[in-house]
Amino acid sequence: MARLFPGLVFGFFNRAKTWATGLACALLTLVASAHDANLTLERLESRRLGLVLVLDPIQSLHQWLAPQLSRQAFLTVYCDKPLPEFQAELRQALASVEVGIRLSGPEGVDLTFSGWNWPSAAQWQERLREQILRMLTPASTREHDPALELRTQAISKRTIGRVQLSLPASLQPVLVIRPGIEQFWLNGLAPTAILDF
């Protein structure tokens, strides 16, 4: 019996490792399918980084403007909200998102962003109306709302060797992609990351 004990322990740990790996893969798949947000970050020049943020526009807008409402209530209320009122709320929400996306560069100084290409308030509202129409179509012929792709650049006064990336909770979880280098998630458990260039 004593001779069998090491083998039993080894077998148990092997099975536990397999179960843990399977569980981690399943959880990662659930997270990836539940939220389509991703951020691609790459170096363009020694002092300039390019960012491309891909979002589910309806889910993101819901989270930014009225997370306390159900999805149906949110669509109903904001679809017909007067444009000036909608625009004022949207401007404040987008400003909060922009401030929350932080890249700290050399000596801890935040990099400056330029060139955000947000849709206009009218375009956002049009997407909400299109979503309501989609919900009225049969499930078999329903199309997904196209993802929203936002681009900007982060600029430093000094050569970028290392940065700290942090994102607001309203964007998380986000899959961060560094083309040809790595991919990882930022979420409530890991809200920041250190990146070397």
Q: What pLDDT does 25 receive?
A: 35
Q: What pLDDT does 139 receive?
A: 65
Q: What pLDDT does 140 receive?
A: 60
Q: What pLDDT does 142 receive?
A: 56
Question: What's the CA gap between 74 and 68, in Å, rounded?
Answer: 9
Q: What pLDDT does 82 receive?
A: 97
Q: What is the DSSP string of 29-68?
A: HHHHHH---EEEEEEEETTEEEEEEEE-HHHHHHHHH-TT
Question: What's the CA gap between 13 and 148, in Å, rounded?
Answer: 44
- Mark the ranges of the chain whose per-residue pLDDT is less than 70: 1-35, 139-144
How large is the greatest C-alpha to C-alpha distance in the chain, in angstroms? 79
Report how far apart, in Å, the C-alpha atoms of 29 and of each of 20, 55, 135, 177 are.
14, 17, 25, 16
Q: 150-171: string of b/e by CB count within 10 Å (b at 16+)? A: bebbbbbeeebeebebebbeeb
Residue 17, judged by CB atoms within 10 A of its CB (0-12, 13-18, 19+), counts as exposed
pTM: 0.74
Reference 63, options 93, 85, 102; nearest CA is 93
Domain ranges in the chain are: 36-196
How many other C-beta atoms are found inside a 10 Å radius of the C-beta of residue 23?
10
